[in-house]
Chains A and B, each alone.
Chain A
Amino acid sequence: DVKVTQSSRYLVKRTGEKVFLECVQDMDHENMFWYRQDPGLGLRLIYFSYDVKMKEKGDIPEGYSVSREKKERFSLILESASTNQTSMYLCASSLGTLHQPQHFGDGTRLSIL
Chain B
Amino acid sequence: AQKVTQAQTEISVVEKEDVTLDCVYETRDTTYYLFWYKQPPSGELVFLIRRNSFDEQNEISGRYSWNFQKSTSSFNFTITASQVVDSAVYFCALTRGGGGNKLTFGTGTQLKVEL
Is A74 part of the contact surface with B, judged by Cβ < 8 Å? no
The answer for the CA separation of A105 and B44 in the assembled complex, in Å, is: 6
Please pick, from B9, B52, B101, the residue contacting A100 in the complex, using a CB distance under 8 A: B101
Judge whether B105 and A42 touch: CB under 8 Å: yes
The count of residues in chain B whose C-beta lies closer than 8 Å to any C-beta of chain A is 23
> Which of A18-26, A43-51, A65-73 forms part of the interface with chain B?
A43-51
Given contacts A42-B91, A44-B105, A99-B95, 8 further A-B contacts (CB under 8 A): A31-B100, A42-B106, A42-B107, A45-B102, A50-B100, A92-B45, A101-B47, A106-B43
Sampled A-B contacts (24; CB under 8 Å): A40-B107, A41-B107, A42-B91, A42-B105, A42-B107, A44-B105, A48-B100, A56-B100, A88-B43, A92-B45, A94-B101, A96-B101, A98-B99, A98-B101, A101-B35, A101-B47, A101-B50, A102-B101, A104-B44, A104-B45, A104-B46, A106-B43, A106-B44, A107-B44
